[in-house]
Structure 1
Amino acid sequence: MEQTTDTEVGPPGDGASDAPSTGERLARLYGRLRSGGRARHVYALAYDSEKLATGGNAGLQEELRRSPACCRLLDRVWGVASSESADELYRRVIRYFDGDDSILILRLTPEYCAWLPVNAEARTWLRRHM
């Protein structure tokens, strides 16, 4: 699959590969300037936790929803838009995990590939925040 900039890759004709319009790019820039010129970061927060996988993640979800924007991208992967660093985000959510859980926080860039055929909310969220 070929990587693209500011687009989502999908099958031909599904509309997912349409690049953002100039207006959308300007809106992103305006949002960054409004926030004092400091661009927000977009993170993928992934975890491997039996406790959270079996319904114990209400506290984590509530904490992530305190971010300027968040969206469940996959079963155990959340997208989080925030001005905080990855370390600050980690320190904010680590209390919801046990010692044997795994957590991974990656900063996303406008160059990404995604195949999310059944998760329109995640596709829309990525387009809006990337």
Structure 2
Amino acid sequence: MTHALPDANAPAAPVISFDDFLKVDIRVGTIVAAHPFPEARNPAWKLEIDFGPAIGIKKSSAQIVEHYSPDTLIGRQVAAVVNFPPRQIGKAMSEVLTVGFPDAAGAVVLFAPDQPVANGARLF
């Protein structure tokens, strides 16, 4: 899934309740496959991410080609929102939103734990 990147100098979003935060289910998973996605409007990879037995393997389209190649993605843990509805991206269905932060040039840098954690672990 793709969305416009927010400006790093923009003010914080409006205040939400903790219950609203808990509605967004962000989990860690391990990338088990990464494929070219030449049909994408913007350069992207098609990812298959293992979120453990409760959630399983989910697909994501990620605009991360500037910093990552398919061979460097396999085995990497990433964070993703797992409770958004699936979204059609070109000819692919993206089931989760893989999250990251923009670098100085606006290219996406993946968000991931700095130590291995269990696939399916939830951000809190």
TM value normalised by structure 2: 0.28
Higher helix share: 1
Instruction: Pick the structure with more strand per residue.
Output: 2
Structure with more relative contact order (C-alpha pairs < 8 Å, separation 6 or more): 1
TM-score by length of 1: 0.27
